[in-house]
Chains A and B, each alone.
Chain A
Amino acid sequence: MKTAKKLGLAVAVATTMGMSSAAMAEEVNIGFSGPLSGGAALYGENVLSGLRMAADEINAAGGFDIDGENHTINIEALDDQYSPAQAATNAKRLVQESNVPAIFIPHSGGIFALMDFNVEDDFLIMAYTSVPTITEQGNPLTVRIPPTFDGYVNAFTDYAIENWGTKLAMGGATHEYAKIWASMIEKAWTAKGGEVVAKNPMDYNKSADFFTGVSRLVSEEPDVMFVGGASEPTGLVMQQARQLGYEGAFIMMDQAKIGEAANVVGGLELLEDTVGVMPLGAYQTDAAQNFIKRYEEEYGKTPGSEAAFNYLALHGLVEAMEEADSMDPTVVRAALGDAIGNMDVGKNPYEVEGVDEKGGFITAPTMAIVKDGEIVEKEF
């Protein structure tokens, strides 16, 4: 299969060269490395679905031009099962075999691993993670797609202390991302005069049952509980807390989505008084609603932010290549901010305004609160 493809490509290249400069569509490979099997497979597939949707749209519209030559997009996806080491191997392979100018990667561990050699190997990292330190390292070829979570930490903490009370029980999870989140929220919470009454993070990969951990948190009678991880198990934790008689509020880490957690527990009622990130479906803008409709037609399910952010990022990347008339990562990176800012709003469900000097996408930060069984948007 692979050899056949390569052979085909060689033949295609040979014929194009033979036909001198005939206008023939050339494929630009874009890399992806993420979990496509194992416990986090769903997450990886969601990210990939957004990329594929953007690629299909670009190709259906006839591709794009670089230096007067027509090009189409091809996504080369490799499975890394969330492992940073595997992600690094995948990246090397993508660069050597498929000559990719950019690699999309949706987990911080893998991103850090790739940042060790991306400048040397000359490819752009399209980082889908909200860990703030990614863009603090000054890597010139790394772009962070979603907003960083430090903004959420402060906004959620402020809101919770003001409205719900000062006693916080820390649930959360044991993976690296959740640990960073937890330490930041603990710091913010105590700095604002709150008190942390219990700490019991859940191990979503090794725990068969959360009842024990949750009962420990509930027994300290907190006002607010910090929960997070993948949406579905997070929903279970919240449901079990309610079953154990907990009536307080929840702070939901940005990895979990209110809508998806509500699906698991059967409605928003159990999630009353939860602060979390704004679900894509709750954005009333045309850009968002239009994207949701097209995604649902294509995949038969409601998209999450993973799909939407990566969708718009690939569109932005291609626009930047077109505008810069180049596939060189440094040139494309420089053109990316303007390209995204000027992009057609239909391709930009979050209405990202540009890219800041450190490489982060600029979005208006919002949070969502579940009040009286409904999701309410709050700006901060």
Chain B
Amino acid sequence: MTTFLQQVFNGLTLGSIYGLVALGLTLVYGILHIPNFAHGALYMVGAFMSYFFMVDMGVHYWIAMAGSAVVVAVLGIICERLVFHQLRNSPPIHDKIAAIGILLFLEAMVHMFWGSEFRRMSSPFGGVMNLDGVYLREQGILIIASTVVLVVALNLFLRKTMVGATIIAMAQNREGAFLVGIDANRVAMMTFAISGGLAAIAATLYAPLNLVYPAMGHLVIMKAFVIIILGGMGSIPGAIVGGMIIGFAEAFGGYYISTAYKDVIAFSLLVVILSIRPQGLFAKGAH
């Protein structure tokens, strides 16, 4: 039983991080129809910014997280303004190419400033609690709690505020949104900002459990794409549920079968789910 609970906890931790990263990705896709391959790079930049604030400037973990979220949100807006906005009338393939370009650019930048060393960023929550044989990492608890808070906050923002309503309107029907006078530029910038901020927070939450290095985004971005395909492209609940499915599949598959097969398990699930529901678990627009 303890080993089972241990895997539940591990799965929740992993699923929360995957879900947060996928959430940013699905928002941008759902609203602007851009598959943002650079999202993993934003995540990586978020980790490096937090590292910079915490280790080089010596500020507290929470402040570093906030600072990093702001920086990456601004970076997201810059990407939108300088790249995706200019391509708004181009064929969709141009967005994809541009996104890969941004990914390479950001990685090269970070590589130039920080080098390729693995860096360790420890949070103030490095302890481990032993609950009757179940080892709970404090950072893991923090990740799960933060994810719940962020998802609830995002939902409230989208449903209860006027600004949020404009975002949802854009996602549901672009022409309709234009007709009622919604400023598409503002919505696009806001979407990128939220997406970037979420990526930075996810990275800062997760970095203390792993290492900070320029290629760290590759790990999560592929999974995030699997998750949003699984959950339904553009669906917010889909990103969270998809993240949890992959997280649990990895934790349980890794423990009860073998870590060597855990990706096989996760991808088999993807195949099974997509053959039953080709549009993903939650169809697009189900906000």
Contact = CB atoms under 8 A, between A and B. Distances in A.
B33 interface: no
B3 A208 contact: no
Contact of B250 (A37, A212, A216): A212
Nearest to A215: B6
Contacts of A244: 128, 135
B260 A203 contact: yes
Contacts of A231: 118
Interface string B190-227: 00000000000000001001110111001110010000
Given A208-B14, A208-B17, A209-B10, A215 B135 contact: yes
Interface string A47-82: 000000000000000000000000000000000000
A41 B118 contact: no
Given A39-B215, A264-B211, A208 B220 contact: yes
B211 A219 contact: no
A42 B213 CA distance: 10
A211 B137 contact: yes
Interface stretch (A20-28, A109-117, A123-131, A194-202): A194-202
Q: How large is the interface on A (under 10, 10 to 19, 20 to 34, 35 or more residues)?
A: 20 to 34
Nearest to B108: A37
A189 B156 CA distance: 58
A5 interface: no
Contacts of B7: 212, 215
Nearest to B6: A215
A236 to B, nearest CB: 7
A243 B210 contact: no
Contacts of A213: 254-255, 259
A244 B3 CA distance: 12
Contacts of B60: none
Nearest to B118: A232
A209 B13 contact: yes
A205 B6 CA distance: 24
A242 B10 CA distance: 17
B111 interface: yes
Contacts of B255: 212-213, 215-216
Given A39-B215, A200-B258, A207-B259, A264 B6 contact: no
A37 B259 contact: no
Contacts of A2: none
Contact of B210 (A209, A219, A266): A209
A245 interface: yes
Given A45-B115, A232-B211, 12 more contacts: A42-B213, A200-B254, A200-B260, A207-B250, A208-B219, A209-B210, A209-B250, A211-B10, A212-B259, A233-B211, A244-B135, A264-B211
10 contacts: A39-B218, A42-B117, A206-B219, A208-B14, A211-B137, A212-B7, A215-B3, A232-B211, A236-B210, A236-B211
